[in-house]
Amino acid sequence: MANVERKARVVSVDGMKVVSHVRDFEFIMDEPEKLGGTNQGMNPIEAMLSAVGGCKIIVARSFSKLHNIHLKDITVEVSGILDTDGFLGKNPEAKVGLSELKSIYHIKADNTKEEIEAFVDFIEKTCPVIDTISHAPKLKEEIHLN
């Protein structure tokens, strides 16, 4: 299959609140009140953590039969460590983004521990969101003044 471009159009609504438009869907991102937002949605880091977990589950569901995994249920808890002094400019030595990303898999399946471990390894290597984080794409910017 050829390369497929994915797009999101994110619009500033009010203060820290933004609305992301993707295909026929939209969702709100915002910051907690203590960071100047109105707490009407998850913040972008939380949205990214959700994307990581969602991608891993979709990969698991898509490939479980091919790998002979008798998947009954799966939940992935995703957490990250963020030094807020980095993006707030309080500490120039601190990383601006996440310094650690951790996934905890809760899997119910009629398979051995070894089979599940091999399948999780496959998920980690096949998840497009993880690949994007692990192997950063080329970054390009354009500015259009209105």
Same domain, 79 and 125: yes
Answer whether residue 75 is part of any domain.
yes
10 Cβ neighbours under 8 A, 6+ residues apart: 18, 19, 20, 21, 29
Same domain, 75 and 121: yes
Query: What is the number of structural domains in the chain?
Result: 2
Give the separation between CA 75 and CA 64, rounded to whole angstroms. Answer: 14
> What residues make up the domain containing 79?
43-134
Q: Which two tokens stand for residue 45?
A: 């880091």
Q: Tens digits of per-residue pLDDT, 132-146?
A: 999 999 999 999 998
Q: Which two tokens stand for residue 31?
A: 């910051």
Q: Tens digits of per-residue pLDDT, 63-122?
A: 999 999 999 999 999 999 999 899 888 999 999 999 999 999 999 999 999 999 999 999
Asked if residues 30 and 43 have their Cβ atoms less than 8 Å apart, the reply is: yes
Q: Tens digits of per-residue pLDDT, 15-39?
A: 999 999 999 999 999 999 998 999 9
